[in-house]
Amino acid sequence: MKMKKATSNATSAEKSPPKKTLNRTIRIIFTVLALLIILGFGTGTAMLISYVKDAPTFDPQMLKPAETSYLYDSKGNEITRLYQEQNRTVIPISNLPEYVPEAFVAIEDERFEKHFGVDFIGITRALVVNITKKDLVSQGASTTTQQLIRNAFLTPEKTLKRKIQEAWLSIQLEREFSKPEILEMYLNTIYFGNGAYGIEAAAETYFNKSASDLSLAEGSMLAGFVCAPNSFNPFINEEKAQNRKKTVLRKMTSLGYIGTNEAKSAREEELKYGELKSREYPYSYFIDYVVHHELTRILSETALLGDKEAAYHAIYTQGLKIYTTLDTELQAHVEETLKRKDKYPTTTYINMDKFKAAYQEAGNKLPRDYPKAYIDEENGVPQPQAAMVVANPQTGAIRALGGGREYRKNKDEVLRFVSKRQPGSSIKPIVSYAPAFEEKILAPGSIVYDVPIKIGNYAPRSWDGRYWGPITVREAIRWSRNIPAVSVLHMVTPGKGTEYAERMGISSFSEDDRGSLSVALGGVSGISVMDMCQAFATVANEGVKKPLHTVSRIEDRDGEIVFEQNAAGEAVLSPQTAYMITNILEETHRTTFTGNRLYIDRPVAAKTGTTNDDRDTLLAAFTPNLISYLWMGYDYKDMGRIRGGHGLTTSITRDVFKKAFEGLEKISFESRRPSGLVTMEICKLSGLKPTQLCRDANAVVREIFTPQTAPKETCSDHVEVEICQASGLLRGPYCPDEDVTKEYFYTGKHSEDKPPKEKCDVHTGPSEKITSFAAIWNPVSRSVTLSWSISSSSNIKEFKIYRGSSNEETTLLASINAQTLHYTDARDLKNDTEYTYFLYMVDKQNNQSEPATARVKVPSASLSLSPPTLSLPENSKEKEVALSPVLLWRGSPGATSYTVEVASDDNFSNIVFDSTVKITMITVTPPLEEGKIYCWRVKSNNENGSSQWSSVRSFKTKQISPSELSLYNRFVVKTHFLAISWKIYPLYTRPHHLSVTTVTPISPSSG
């Protein structure tokens, strides 16, 4: 080390400076005065003195390498050490090309040669800037001397006190050392990021060469990013580093260090970077998060340190003891599980640098030659990817972090659990339902409507494009219905919903998100896995948000606690709200496919999520003392889809849970049920108290409510309706029983399945018809014979016959079995009365058909007897008949016998033949004279003694030869037989006796 140590023991402020010149003294006084002016004279002076008094003692010994920090796991075992790179080599300033120190001076401290440790002009300029920004102690113009002092003696705390102490010590440093010495110390201690301290280590790290060989371009790039080594270094952002390099070159040109040609060639020089050294620590995803996210955040928020750069620097130099929540076994298991190819739908190794460039070139679209042109089995990044956070929701301690499938040591690996992703439907309980429960708008048994809605221009749809009508909130969450989630957020308002979600742990809502209903479906600018896990952890921990963390405690090099994770949480949701959400998610886990595949030995609540077109798939799963949130998808969402994602996320979660639950107490959610909830039966369509009809309709469920949301009224919207299955319509009178079922309909708001209004159009009449029905009066037996026919008898149980007349009430005559199609009515029939018979069919369902009717008249005793009509022989005097003629007549209704008279004159004073017969013919026996005219008549008699004479007819006998006679007799015999056979035929069947009515039953609708 060429750096000279001061010969004198110049350690205190009071000691008079050995190299003091008048010029310097004047400048010091001037500066102090300036500071007094800045502070205000009175109190300012007192403050200044006390600050300077408190300043650490100036000791050049302290310009030494920093101390190593230690990282411990959750059991207090050391995981790794964080320290400066060991290749830190001090290089004399004389070994550097001139332009290297010049570049640093130009960009960091252009008046380096002129100031005395504090750059008054720079301070003034910065002050003006800061005052206009109303911030007195933010970034000021620190000289290289001040930076050196800060690194060695002070923490980079940004208070006025520190600034003054820094200035004070800087002035002392300037008195002890020459300018080149100070610059050399500066160049050899400054931090360049990636563990490189000092210009030599930086040259090695970034350009794989000694600092003495740095080109102007390389030197100016290093000088450029030294102010913010973790954001501007070329490994993180080459473009920024290049721009910064150009700034340095411009500055060097303007200060006259280099010419424009040199600057030009340096600008255009192509830089060859070194390979980034592999990180040596294990559990890289976890420790990367600890160091780059949580530690830097915690430390930069402490009063000690001002910003991330300072914090990051402190991690490697301050000898901190950092206690983490890491569960090394689980972490190793998570890393291993996420690495397994069988946990992904496919695996393709993609050269991401090449892909990113092509993606941008294509205008942020998938390049046409994807994936073929980007496959790189050796150095590619496996796709799709996954990220997972496993934590204890009761304490917020993160036990394991999965940041991807394979940690790549040579590249800055992405911590995918902090990248913003689309949460898909997994956000529904967080942004819609939990806020609605908390606001006492809804409870799990409240009814929401899965019906077409349009709010503004927003018309959400569910994945299946269907609408389920009224459903309970529980069902809406279980089946992840989109429309209810949106309408619930509409009720709560997006502003309030996102506000709750924010308090539960979502930190990245944009202004647009806060006003958008599509947030309910995960349509957000992006939410990290970490944030989603935090939000669900809040639910899992009975509504109390315990911040997820990896750092539990930090001690400084003296063992003093610098930071300790605050055990108190923030109550974001009531325990009732948290319980209700958990209860639904637990049931979902048990009853949907997700649950079947998790196979966990204890109650677990779970919510899946999928984004549009299956780009991402997500799964939140928790018990009271364990939570995990898992994302699977491609690093660029256009790269592919995750089909069947739920099976994959569940499979990973199950494997991780198995390990995570080892030795973990089983706690049921039920054991944590808070008071203040009511369980009651409700009608699951109306959301009201159920009736027997709701019960019969199978619409009764047990549900949880808060007193404010519990229903007070009773359902009146369920109805029972008989439906004919043949038509799906209301039962009609002819629908057979076997086709009819009782169905229950919900007729309330948004009922999807209203009962039909129409009656059955299949069974419009009875299938059995009476096709004829006749009633015949039988005078001989004084009875009425009824006979009928039907189209089919299959469904007929019996017939019923009623009789009525003008004098008699219609009464039931008889019930007759279905096989008999006739009936004889002999019951008390009155003469001269018209009777009406009604024939009903009764089917097996006891339906009675419309009647068929038949009428019959019982003739009157006297008047009903009509005269016989004579037919043979013809009434003709010319026509000759045999001497023994056959007389024929047509009988009369009601006649029981006929009296025939034949006379030789037309007034029947001289009767030659008479006889009484029961039939309607007679053969007149001789003696009749040949060739003479006779008259004949017939009287019909009935049993009452009434009689009626027919009209009179005549015939003329003929002279017949014996041969003719024999022929004639033969004819008579034959005719006689014919007559007999004719006579046997029942009288009442002859047409003029009958009154037949065939009735087609009347349609019931007209009745």
User: What is the closest distance, in whole angstroms, from the C-beta atom of residue 748 to Zn ion in the complex?
Assistant: 7
Q: Which range, of 73-81, 600-608, 680-688, 950-958, touches Zn ion by CB under 5 A?
A: 680-688
Q: Of 745 and 840, which CB lies nearer to Zn ion in the complex structure?
A: 745
> How far is 47 from 41, CA to CA, in rounded Å?
10
User: What is the closest distance, in whole angstroms, from the C-beta atom of residue 633 to Zn ion in the complex?
Assistant: 43
Q: Does 150 bind Zn ion (CB under 5 A)?
A: no
Q: Of 203 and 685, which CB lies nearer to Zn ion in the complex structure?
A: 685
Q: Of 694 and 921, which CB lies nearer to Zn ion in the complex structure?
A: 694
Q: Which residues of 672-689 are buried (b: 16+ CB within 10 A; e: fewer)?
A: ebeeebeeeebbbbbbbb
Q: Of 181 and 696, which CB lies nearer to Zn ion in the complex structure?
A: 696
User: What is the closest distance, in whole angstroms, from the C-beta atom of residue 688 to Zn ion in the complex?
Assistant: 7
Q: Of 252 and 715, which CB lies nearer to Zn ion in the complex structure?
A: 715
Q: Of 211 and 447, which CB lies nearer to Zn ion in the complex structure?
A: 447
Q: What residues contact 473, with CB distance under 8 A and at least 6 apart?
A: 433, 436, 442, 443, 444, 445, 446, 447, 448, 484, 488, 584
Q: Which range, of 235-243, 279-287, 689-697, 972-980, touches Zn ion by CB under 5 A?
A: 689-697
Q: Which range, of 519-527, 639-647, 728-736, 869-877, touches Zn ion by CB under 5 A?
A: 728-736
Q: Does 69 bind Zn ion (CB under 5 A)?
A: no
User: What is the closest distance, in whole angstroms, from the C-beta atom of residue 566 to Zn ion in the complex?
Assistant: 50
* Positions 972 through 1001 that interact with Zn ion (CB under 5 A): none
User: What is the closest distance, in whole angstroms, from the C-beta atom of residue 727 to Zn ion in the complex?
Assistant: 5
Q: Of 336 and 753, which CB lies nearer to Zn ion in the complex structure?
A: 753
Q: Does 684 bind Zn ion (CB under 5 A)?
A: no
Q: Of 258 and 697, which CB lies nearer to Zn ion in the complex structure?
A: 697
Q: Which range, of 171-179, 617-625, 733-741, 935-943, touches Zn ion by CB under 5 A?
A: 733-741
Helix ranges (H only) for 40-119 are 41-54, 99-108
**Binder of Zn ion out of 196, 315, 735, 870 (CB under 5 A):** 735
User: What is the closest distance, in whole angstroms, from the C-beta atom of residue 551 to Zn ion in the complex?
Assistant: 55
What's the sign of the alpha-carbon dihedral 331, 332, 337, 340?
Answer: positive
Consecutive H or E run containing 663: none
> How far is 338 from 139, CA to CA, in rounded Å?
43
Beta bridge partners of 833: 858
* Three-class SS state of 943: coil
Q: Does 730 bind Zn ion (CB under 5 A)?
A: no
Distances in whole angstroms, Cα of residue 878 to Cα of each of 9, 337, 786, 885, 912: 187, 132, 48, 15, 21
DSSP code of 375?
Answer: B
Q: Of 686 and 709, which CB lies nearer to Zn ion in the complex structure?
A: 686
Q: Which range, of 30-38, 280-288, 363-371, 722-730, touches Zn ion by CB under 5 A?
A: 722-730
Q: Which residues of 554-577 are buried (b: 16+ CB within 10 A; e: fewer)?
A: bbbeeeeebbebeeebeebbbbbb
719 CB-contact burial (10 Å; exposed 0-12 / middle 13-18 / buried 19+)? middle
What's the sign of the alpha-carbon dihedral 761, 762, 768, 769?
Answer: positive
Residue 936: what residue type? W
Residue whose structure tokens are 């006979």: 787
* Three-class SS state of 350: strand
Q: Of 738 and 808, which CB lies nearer to Zn ion in the complex structure?
A: 738
Q: Does 704 bind Zn ion (CB under 5 A)?
A: no
Tokens of 688: 């009201």
Q: Of 416 and 684, which CB lies nearer to Zn ion in the complex structure?
A: 684
Q: Does 169 bind Zn ion (CB under 5 A)?
A: no
Q: Of 195 and 711, which CB lies nearer to Zn ion in the complex structure?
A: 711
Q: Of 628 and 686, which CB lies nearer to Zn ion in the complex structure?
A: 686
Q: Does 719 bind Zn ion (CB under 5 A)?
A: no
217 CB-contact burial (10 Å; exposed 0-12 / middle 13-18 / buried 19+)? buried
User: What is the closest distance, in whole angstroms, from the C-beta atom of residue 981 to Zn ion in the complex?
Assistant: 54
Q: Which range, of 186-194, 632-640, 732-740, 840-848, touches Zn ion by CB under 5 A?
A: 732-740
* Three-class SS state of 374: helix
User: What is the closest distance, in whole angstroms, from the C-beta atom of residue 757 to Zn ion in the complex?
Assistant: 15
Q: What residues contact 208, with CB distance under 8 A and at least 6 apart?
A: 272, 273, 274, 275
Q: Of 182 and 682, which CB lies nearer to Zn ion in the complex structure?
A: 682
Q: What residues contact 808, with CB distance under 8 A and at least 6 apart?
A: none
> How far is 225 from 248, CA to CA, in rounded Å?
10
User: What is the closest distance, in whole angstroms, from the C-beta atom of residue 449 to Zn ion in the complex?
Assistant: 15
Q: Which range, of 5-13, 323-331, 406-414, 714-722, touches Zn ion by CB under 5 A?
A: 714-722
Among residues 529, 528, 522, 548, the alpha carbon closest in space to that of 626 is found at 548
Q: Which range, of 474-482, 719-727, 827-835, 922-930, touches Zn ion by CB under 5 A?
A: 719-727
* Positions 878 through 917 that interact with Zn ion (CB under 5 A): none
Q: Which range, of 458-466, 560-568, 662-670, 679-687, touches Zn ion by CB under 5 A?
A: 679-687
Q: Which long-range contacts (CB under 8 A, 24 or more apart) does 858-862 make?
A: 858/777, 858/784, 858/829, 858/830, 858/831, 858/832, 858/833, 858/834, 859/777, 859/779, 859/831, 859/832, 859/893, 859/894, 860/831, 860/832, 861/831, 861/832, 861/894, 861/942, 861/944, 861/946, 862/944, 862/946
Tokens of 862: 């006297």
Distances in whole angstroms, Cα of residue 486 to Cα of each of 494, 587, 684, 987: 9, 22, 20, 89
Contact between 849 and 767 under an 8 Å Cβ cutoff? The reply is: no
Q: Of 491 and 762, which CB lies nearer to Zn ion in the complex structure?
A: 762
Residue whose structure tokens are 């003091």: 20
Size of the site for Zn ion (CB under 5 A): 11
* Three-class SS state of 618: strand
Q: Does 682 bind Zn ion (CB under 5 A)?
A: no
**Binder of Zn ion out of 248, 715, 775, 912 (CB under 5 A):** 715
User: What is the closest distance, in whole angstroms, from the C-beta atom of residue 763 to Zn ion in the complex?
Assistant: 4
User: What is the closest distance, in whole angstroms, from the C-beta atom of residue 731 to Zn ion in the complex?
Assistant: 7
**Binder of Zn ion out of 726, 814, 872, 919 (CB under 5 A):** 726
Residue 32: what residue type? V
Q: What residues contact 586, with CB distance under 8 A and at least 6 apart?
A: 603, 604, 605, 669
**Binder of Zn ion out of 607, 718, 937, 953 (CB under 5 A):** 718
Residue whose structure tokens are 């009962």: 755
Q: Of 724 and 790, which CB lies nearer to Zn ion in the complex structure?
A: 724
User: What is the closest distance, in whole angstroms, from the C-beta atom of residue 893 to Zn ion in the complex?
Assistant: 48
Q: Which range, of 144-152, 316-324, 692-700, 996-1004, touches Zn ion by CB under 5 A?
A: 692-700
Q: Of 573 and 683, which CB lies nearer to Zn ion in the complex structure?
A: 683
Q: Does 694 bind Zn ion (CB under 5 A)?
A: yes
Q: Of 302 and 751, which CB lies nearer to Zn ion in the complex structure?
A: 751
* Positions 758 through 817 that interact with Zn ion (CB under 5 A): 760, 762-763
Q: Does 683 bind Zn ion (CB under 5 A)?
A: yes
User: What is the closest distance, in whole angstroms, from the C-beta atom of residue 683 to Zn ion in the complex?
Assistant: 3
User: What is the closest distance, in whole angstroms, from the C-beta atom of residue 715 to Zn ion in the complex?
Assistant: 3
Q: Which range, of 342-350, 694-702, 794-802, 862-870, touches Zn ion by CB under 5 A?
A: 694-702
Q: Does 724 bind Zn ion (CB under 5 A)?
A: yes
Q: Which residues of 185-201 are buried (b: 16+ CB within 10 A; e: fewer)?
A: bbbbbbbbbbbbbbbbb
471 CB-contact burial (10 Å; exposed 0-12 / middle 13-18 / buried 19+)? buried
> How far is 241 from 222, CA to CA, in rounded Å?
9
For Zn ion, the binding residues (CB under 5 A) are 683, 686, 694, 715, 718, 724, 726, 735, 760, 762-763
